[in-house]
Structure formats: structure tokens, C-alpha cells
Structure 1
Amino acid sequence: MSYIEWFEQHAKKHKKIVEKLVAQGLSEDEIIDYFDFENMVKEENEFCPLYKEPVKCHDIEKLNCYLCGCPHFRFNDDGLGEYNGAKILSKCDINNGSKLAAGGAIHQDCSKCTVPHHRAYVKKKFDLDWKKIMSKVTAM
């Protein structure tokens, strides 16, 4: 699956859940809490393929799945070309990010970074519209 295919599919799933929670009258904090890993495994098992096992994408105690990605990530299905440090947009990427060669291209690898899965970060970036939070990921 390409980055853009994942992005569009994930946005639809996220929107459906958020619309359901808004219709139930949940507050911003309650919506964020709903996306805690343990709750999502129980309530939204189709949201992430890892929920079926269940296994976390990052080994942290309190993993929040609201963002399921990072607004600092930049993707291009053809890769980043020659790796360019300008694609690294935050200290967390500098410390934990790396490059990954796959499919004949260089891709940003943030697999060791847990920042977007912490509740405080989600709260700071929160918007009901996931695509709005993630709007720059496709900007190259």
C-alpha cells in the first residue's frame, strides 16, 4: 500500500470514529482518551491491524492512537530522493529519526519516535479533523 493510499484510508476511518464520538457529545478530552490503545483494541478493533494481536506499535505504557502518525513526517511514495536533513522538522526527528532505504528510494524512518503517541502531544495538536492536523505530511 502506498503512503497516500494509507493516508486516505486512515483519514476515513478516523473521521468516522470522531463523528460518532461528537454525536455522543464527548468533549475534546474524552475523545482523546477514547483513542487510548487499550480502549481502541476493545472498541475499534478494525482501526489498526495491530489491534487484532493486540500489539502496540511502540513499547510505551500509555500509548494514544489519535494521531497514528506524526504531523512532522513528510512522505512521498517515490522516497525523499537523496536524503536531505531539511526533511527533519523537529528535535524528536533529529534524535530518533533515521533514513530507510526501501524500494530503491530513501524514506524517513521515525519508528523509534513515540512523541505523537503521548496524550500531551495529541492535546497540543488536537483538531477534530485529523487531515487538518496532518495537512503538511504530503507537502514535499
Structure 2
Amino acid sequence: MKYIDWFESHAQKHKKIVERLRCKGYTKEQIVDYFDFENMKENEEDFCPLYKQNKKCHDIKTLNCYMCACPNFRFNDDGLAKYNGLKILSKCDINNGKKFASGGFIHQDCSSCTVPHHKAYVLKNFSYDWREMMGECKIN
């Protein structure tokens, strides 16, 4: 699956859940709490393919799925090789981080980073619109 396909599909699933919760009168904090892994795997099984396996994407005790991506990640479907290795911003170290090759391109492996899955980080960067939080991820 291309990054853009996942991005657009995920944005729609996220929007649908958030709109439903807002219609029920949930506050921002209640919405973020709803996106706790344990709750999501029980109530939103189709949000993530790992839920059906009862498997977390990161091995942390309290995993929040509200962001389910990192706003510091930059992509187009050409991979890292097309941008001289610059895809991760801020405190992420692209040179020492893990990478993997696929389809003839090098991609950043963020699987060991848990930053966007902590409630405090989500609340600090919160928007009801997932696309707005991830707005700079997509490079044209």
C-alpha cells in the first residue's frame, strides 16, 4: 500500500469516529481517552488491522491511537532516496535511526519511537481534524 492510500483511508476512519464522539458531546480529553488502545480494539476493530490480533504497534503500557502516525514524518511514495535522506524533522535522528528498503527506495523505520502515542503529546498537538495535525506530512 502506498503511503498516500493509507493516509487518506486513515483520515476518513479517524474523522468518522471523532464526529460520532463530538455528536455525543465528548470533550477533547474524552475523545483522546476514547482512542486508548484497549478501548479501540474493543470498540473500533476496523480502525487498525492490529486490533484483531490484540497486538500493539509499540510495546508501551498505555498506547494512545489518536495520532496513529507522527506529524514529523514526511512522505511521498518515492521514499527517502528522492529527498536526500530528509524525511524526519525535529528531534528524530534520520542518520542513526533505522531504515528499510522497499521497492528500490529507502524508508524511515519509526517503529521504535513512541512519542505520538502518549496522551500528553496528543493533547499538546490536538486537533479534531487528523489531517490538520498531519498537514505537513504529505510532500507533493
Deviations 1:17-71 (A, max 9, x none): 0000000000000000000000001110110000001100000000000000000
Deviations 1:71-121 (A, max 9, x none): 001112111226735433121x21873322211011121111000000010
Aligned: 1:87 with 2:120 = no
Aligned: 1:102 with 2:85 = no
* In structure 1, distance between residues paired with 2:49 and 2:86: 32
* Moved segments of 4+, more than 2 Å: 82-88, 95-99
Q: With the length of structure 2 as denominator, give the TM-score of the two structures.
A: 0.93
Unaligned runs of 5+ in 1: none
Q: Against the structure 1 CA distance between its residues 135 and 36, is the aligned structure 2 distance closer, same or farther, given a 3 Å change threshold?
A: same
* In structure 2, distance between residues paired with 1:88 and 1:57: 19
Q: With the length of structure 1 as denominator, give the TM-score of the two structures.
A: 0.93
Where does residue 42 of structure 1 map in the other structure? 42
Unaligned runs of 5+ in 2: none
Return the structure number with greater helix share: 1
Where does residue 21 of structure 1 map in the other structure? 21
Q: Which amino acid aligns with 1:50?
A: L
Q: Which amino acid aligns with 2:43?
A: E
Question: Share of identical aligned residues, percent?
Answer: 63
Q: Which amino acid aligns with 2:93?
A: I
* In structure 2, distance between residues paired with 1:53 and 1:100: 24
Contact in 1 for aligned 2:80/2:86 (Cα 8 Å)? no
* In structure 1, distance between residues paired with 2:61 and 2:35: 14
TM-superposed CA distance for 1:10, in Å, is 0.3
